[in-house]
Structure formats: structure tokens, C-alpha cells
Structure 1
């Protein structure tokens, strides 16, 4: 990957024609560009044959206002540059596109809702790394050609026509939008026409993940027994084997819709369900009666039934761990962060959306009642498990992922279990507890985009 960055300046169109660029002598020498003639300027899907005008005492690239308008470049910025003598192409970028679910043009302070600050942060990080990022919605896809309407941040948000990106990160938040024919057609089209890389290209469902990972004997040890919930027989079988079982919507998130079934001491069964205000508790004399009460849910939602685990607790509240695993600047998986999440009072799931709280892994493990001999080892084993699971997802599920949120748990003996893999990890609750301006997760994402684009 070229580490060479070049300052790009816009000059008045009367000084420089659209099909000419002024290139500093130092930059030409470093990029090994011949002193005279033409070359192809490339930025995302944008291509323009240009004449080079050498500028001996400069290290910058100067372009006309008209050329800057077509690329979306602002008056002054810095971009990574690489030159191929074989194709005579000067590439700048990478140009990164982020596909988001919706925008709110009437409220620019919250243009993209809860991820607006992440979008600002990503823009700042791209400026620092010589990349260029824009954000676009599925509504912008009703177009043909090599440009798209996207949002950029430069002392405020503005919408403009931009080339198709070198790399697109899918941040769509619903399967319904992701599966729209217009979205799928666009992504297939830009991959074939421009070689655009598209990562985190689909949602994962729980059954798919567990069935895929179970193909690897080394990963089976992390997998609680799980089955597709297809009737009373499987509930009866699982409840006879385990003190508690969980019923999870196959396509759920944020802890929504999770049910927990357990045996009561005096006989009968207890059902816990998640609600926005806490946990709802119901008791039934028999398992059949309990199942009868939840059966209507099964008609509209597919569920996975999973072995209940005696989770590590803090203050009688269950704890799990969210690992953010990302591809790095060499295309390899690495663990960016792991945080412990403790369930809120009156909740049996740890999601922050349901009152959970964050702490460091070290803090949570040290306060736990885990056997003393396991406390140090689990802090090493958690990231190893997360990495192995990420590699397993990549091996057994045919899709391109650049980052995964992997939810792990420790039982009370210190054994590691996989709870869930999320292909659209939140940008709010998966980072170390500090106030850095640009989070490591954001920097890592850009490094991976640069690796994919070769810039």
C-alpha cells in the first residue's frame, strides 16, 4: 500500500483547463511519473485523460474548479496517491462510500439519526488518512451512470454528485431495505462495472451462524446446543436436558423478543420475556401450557432455541462480552476491542438498549466469582476465541465481512461460549471506555478500505 499523500488544491478554471493538471516536481519524482505527456486521473469510478504541467518547486497537485466539481474535491485537501506506469494511471483516494438507511435533510444536526456523530468522526479520520468518504441512502440508487448523490461534511453537511466509490461499507439497519431489488442490483452492477469492493454485505441470522460454525470441530466447543424451533417436541427435549433454555428470534437484535424458560422449584415452569421497561415473569403448571401461550409468536417469527448457560455474574446480574473484530490494513482479522456488558436491574439480557452497563474485561473478571486460577487465562482466551469465530464465519459463510460484533459469555467455571455474531456492529457500545476523538475502530475501518482499494 502506498503511504504517499499528496496535497490537492483547486485553482480558478481560467488558470487551468479541465483536461490539465499541475503536478509538483517532488511528487512526480516520488511517484515516478514522466515529466511530459498525458496520464489518466482516477478517483473512484471517475476517469479523465489529463495533460501534466510540471511545477518544479511544488509538491502539490493543482486541478481546475470544473474538474474538482466533477470529483467532489474541496478547495484544499490531502489524498493518497499511486501511479501505475503500465496503465499510465494516477489514482487518488481511496473514495469510500457508506450506505446508510435514511437521511433527514430537514435536521442537519441529526442528518443520519443516531449514527450522525460516527459519520462526522469517520470524515475526520478520512481527512487524517488521505481518504475521502461520503454517505448515501437507497433513495440515491435510482440512477444509472457513474455518479451518485451523496452527503459530504465540510464545515457542514452538503449533498453533491460524486463518483461511485472504490469501497462501500454497508450500514443498512434492516433486512427489508437491504434486500430491495434496487439495492441488490446497484451493488452487483458497481462490483462488475468498477470493481467496487462491498463489505458487511448482508445480515446474519443466528441459525445460519451456528450451523456454519458447527462444521469446524475446533469451534464446536464454543457453541451452546442450539436448534431451529419448529415445534413443542424440541422445547420438551431441551427443557429435559437443561435447567433453562433461551428462545431467540433468528433475526432479532438489541435483545428484543428473547424468552427464557426455566423449571420452578415447586414444579411447573417460569417464562421470562424482555420488555422495554424490564422483565415480565409468568408461571405455568406445565411446559405444554407455557408453549401454548407462546405458540402464536412462532407463526410470525422464526426462533432459535438454545441451551441456557450459568453465566458469570456481577451483583447477581449476568455479564457477557462484546468483541469488535475487524480486518486491518493487511486484510487480516484483529480484535479492536472487547468490553464487558452487565445486565441492568430487572433484566436478563445485557444490551445497553435495555439498561446494561459497560466495564473493562479486567474489571469485570476481577470482581467476579470465577475460580482464581482462571481469571488471568480467560482474558487471553476471549480475544483468541473471537478471532477464531471471525475466521470461521469468513470460511463457512459466503459473504464479504470487514467487521463483526461477536458476543461471548463466560460460565461460572470460566468456559467461553458464543452467544451471537452481528454483521452490523453498533458504533456506540463496542469500544474501550475512553474519550479519544477518533476511535480505534474507525481508524481500522479506513485502513481496511485502503487495503481493499490498494491506496
Structure 2
């Protein structure tokens, strides 16, 4: 059992759902995998009780710590602390470590003179008064859960003369009197910590929101490569570009040339590649921590300015399948296992 790959996730409904992961591990000469949640880790005994795949089948058993682990989970608040404890304990060795919440990531990114011009004004919401001041300054802002992912829970807030308008994806606009702003934001904060960010107009000529996702992955030699890049275009009247909620994917250069003109589109595409390729090494050095892959989300406003929206350590790859086909998608899915094998050999 020395040569088994550990995979930590948020829940295991059916082990069979992870058979693809197991086959990728076996293709990289691992004996098998153990799938587990943070609660399955016994930090005192240095053991894991999880679902083990070996010889083509799944069984639940207790094993010593694997020599290398991957983290593919999206943890709810109840599990988030436990997952963090497991990784910070340094008892288990992972292919990549966390970056913290969106505000912590922003605090690292502002340390780069290369990235600073591309960063939006962003603040953690600490009080309703601070929120109101930020809204008055920028007039239209985005409110995001500090640990959110996949576009969930994002709210657009627009200040009008004596009213303010709120909009969530998939819901109609709600116009409220200005004297309810304080109680409204207090209600939002009751559901968890949030940040606020200046809104930028990233709608295309047809009024649809779009952004660019660049997928950066670490190859077996430890070098970062861009394995895919695509425009994500949201549905009409949506405030985000999430593909899962019905958006479309397009090739970046062609799309931007159509939106901004051929010369400007070409220059923007080049800038996007440069920024995306710069970020992984900078972030690893800034955190002094190892990463395995990054999803980098950028956007172009109507004036043609490039913005960095956010970075994700567990990027979805369905956009690669949508745009480049099943083979390219499967290659992207397999790369982290190749890197895990390399780390195992390096010890």
C-alpha cells in the first residue's frame, strides 16, 4: 500500500463516481487510490479510513497516510475548518495547497507591480456603513461570498437617485428605497462573509456578459503551461458568465477581434497570455507554497481595458471539452496525476 494516491474531497456519495480518477492514477503506475473526506483523517494515528480502489473494485478500509495526495474538494463551512487543519498539519503531502479566501488572495496579488493595474478596487465588507460608502463611491458594485465558487451567491447592486437595485443571476431586478440599504446588507452578511468589488461593464455588443478563463497546469517537470483558454459568454440578462448556467464557450482571439477589432483583439489576446503565464510562479513565490493548477479569470471592459477577476486553485475543465473536444479535456484531467507521480518519485 506504499504506492497509493490519496484523493481528498468534500463528500463521497458513491465511490464509483471516482473510478475515472482511479484509472488515471493507475495509468501513472500508482497501485490504486484512496478517496476520503477531511473527517476520515485521523491526525493522531496518522491513518485514513476511506474508499480504496484496487484490482478493479472499491472497498472501505483504513490505511497509513499515502505518500502523495490530491485535494479536489469544495468544502462547505462545516468542513472547511477541518480540511484546512488537515492540510496545514503538513502530515499529509499534497500536490497543491490552499490560497485562502478571495480577500487573502487579493492581498497577495496587489504585491505585484505587473498585476496591480489589472486589479479591481476590492474590500471585505466589515460594516453596513463601509458598504454604503463604497457603493456611493462606485455607484455599481458586485457583492461576492468571500469563499464562493462557480458564480454562486453573487449580487449586483446599483445605486440610483432615491433607490438601489439588486440583482442575482437567474432572478429579476429588485428596486428598494435607499433607507432600506442598511438593513439589506446586514441581511446579506448574516449568510456569511462577503467582499465588494467595483462593477465593470464586461458585456459584449449584444449585451451579454463575457470573460476569459485561462487554464494553467503544472507538467511533470514542474513547469507551468497553459493547457487551454476560452471566452465564457453568459446568457442574456445574466450578471455572470457561468457556463453551467447556460453560457457558451468561444476561442479567445476570434472573439476579441470581433468585439474590439483585429489589431486591438490581437493585442489583448497576447496580454491575456502574458498575464496568465506570469501569475502561477508569482503566486507560488508570494505564498511560498506549492500549487498544481490554476484557473485564471480575466475580463475586458467596453473601453478595452484588461482586468483580473479572480484565480481558482480547483478550476473546472468542462469549458475545455466544450471548445477543444473530449481528447483535450481528458488530457487536462490527467495532467495532475502525472504531476503527482513525479512528486512521489522526487519525495
1:227 aligns with 2:123: yes
Larger strand fraction of residues: 1
Cα-Cα RMSD: 2.9
Q: 1:271 aligns with which of 157, 165, 169?
A: 165
**Structure 1 partner of 2:145:** 249
What is the deviation of 1:177? Answer: 1.8
SS of corresponding position for 2:325: coil
1:387 aligns with 2:277: yes
Equivalent-residue separation in structure 2 for 1:184 and 1:128 (angstroms): 31
Q: Is the 8 A contact 1:247 1:305 kept in 2?
A: yes
1:164 aligns with 2:65: yes
**Structure 1 partner of 2:201:** 310
Equivalent-residue separation in structure 2 for 1:263 and 1:220 (angstroms): 27
1:102 aligns with 2:11: yes
**Structure 2 partner of 1:329:** 220
1:338 aligns with 2:229: yes
Q: Is the 8 A contact 2:209 2:233 kept in 1?
A: yes
SS of corresponding position for 1:365: helix
Equivalent-residue separation in structure 2 for 1:246 and 1:414 (angstroms): 20
Q: TM-score, normalised by structure 2?
A: 0.85
SS of corresponding position for 2:144: strand
**Structure 1 partner of 2:300:** 410
1:280 aligns with 2:280: no
Q: Is the 8 A contact 2:207 2:236 kept in 1?
A: no
Q: Residue by residue, what CA displacement relative to the aligned partner does 1:377-419 show, whole Å, maximum 9, x if unpaired?
A: 2222212212222233223235432112221111123322111
Equivalent-residue separation in structure 1 for 2:237 and 2:54 (angstroms): 42
Q: Residue by residue, what CA displacement relative to the aligned partner does 1:51-99 show, whole Å, maximum 9, x if unpaired?
A: xxxxxxxxxxxxxxxxxxxxxxxxxxxxxxxxxxxxxxxxxx5x42111
**Structure 1 partner of 2:290:** 400
SS of corresponding position for 1:349: coil
**Structure 2 partner of 1:188:** 89
Q: 2:41 aligns with which of 134, 141, 145?
A: 141
Residues 411, 245 of structure 1: alpha-carbon distance in 2 compared, 3 angstrom cutoff: same
**Structure 2 partner of 1:239:** 135
Q: Residue by residue, what CA displacement relative to the aligned partner does 1:202-246 show, whole Å, maximum 9, x if unpaired?
A: 363111111111112221011011111223443344334434211
SS of corresponding position for 1:417: strand
SS of corresponding position for 2:269: helix
Residues 319, 298 of structure 1: alpha-carbon distance in 2 compared, 3 angstrom cutoff: same
Residues 176, 426 of structure 1: alpha-carbon distance in 2 compared, 3 angstrom cutoff: farther
Equivalent-residue separation in structure 2 for 1:152 and 1:234 (angstroms): 51
Query: Any runs of at least 4 consecutive aligned residues in structure 1 with deviations exceeding 6 A, and if so which?
Result: none
The gaps in structure 1 that reach 5 residues or longer are 1-42, 45-92, 192-196
What is the deviation of 1:130? Answer: 2.8
Q: TM-score, normalised by structure 1?
A: 0.67
Residues 215, 96 of structure 1: alpha-carbon distance in 2 compared, 3 angstrom cutoff: same
